[in-house]
A and B are shown apart, each in its own frame.
Chain A
């Protein structure tokens, strides 16, 4: 995809991917709500998005080199600081995770709406109506 379409879509494509990634993390937290010693994870959306926009890929020139996971996949996951730790070492707070998951889903939909608007604008321009 080049030029004009990329520009029109802008930040929303990466934002959508990051929202999906955050949904994965929160789903993992909820699935492991009863796993001993599981540490809840999340990502800092703002810094992850900034990072995804300005990624430089490392060049791998030898088989021993490890490729950098640039872009959205390279966003760093952080461990959550528990409000109240439990005896089995699990730091998942189901209620908080559920509300975060809901919030993330709403924001995912918002990004989808932005993208839909942009696409219909582009279609209008293409059809010349």
Chain B
């Protein structure tokens, strides 16, 4: 029965969007983190989504989504002159994260909207299945 597979698809969508929301949460939490060197500085993370294409799937209708990895942003890391900071390097600089708060907010809204649309899909399918069970009564 095809409608049952929609739960897998919508579930995969929800879990992928949850990973995205999680990365947004870590990025925002670590936005103000300072570190003593450029290598140690916190870099914004974001998930990479990919479609699950089964081998030889041919005309299989359902294509779930998966998170194939989490990558770190390669945007430049800002540094700040703050010699009183215990983490400052020998020249008195600390390195900030490269998190862009505006980007993260937009990402968060997009992820939650996508999550909601997957929930709607699962709800509608559930309702359709329940109606189908009641057929002829």
Contact = CB atoms under 8 A, between A and B. Distances in A.
B118 to A, nearest CB: 6
Interface in A78-129: 94, 98, 101-102, 105, 108-109, 112, 115-116, 119-120, 123
Contact of A31 (B1, B3, B13, B48): B13
B59 A23 contact: no
Interface string B93-137: 000000000000000001101100110110011011001100111
B41 to A, nearest CB: 27
Contact of B61 (A24, A115, A119): A24
Chain B interface extent, by class = 35 or more
Nearest to A17: B2
A98 B65 contact: no
The dominant DSSP class at the B interface is helix
Contacts of A20: 1-3, 128
A56 interface: no
B51 interface: yes
A42 to B, nearest CB: 10
B13 A24 contact: no
B51 A32 contact: yes
Contacts of A32: 13, 49, 51, 63, 65
Interface of A: 16-17, 20-21, 23-28, 30-36, 38, 41, 69, 73-77, 94, 98, 101-102, 105, 108-109, 112, 115-116, 119-120, 123
Interface of B: 1-3, 5-6, 9-10, 12-13, 16-17, 20, 48-51, 58-59, 61-65, 110-111, 113-114, 117-118, 120-121, 124-125, 127-128, 131-132, 135-137
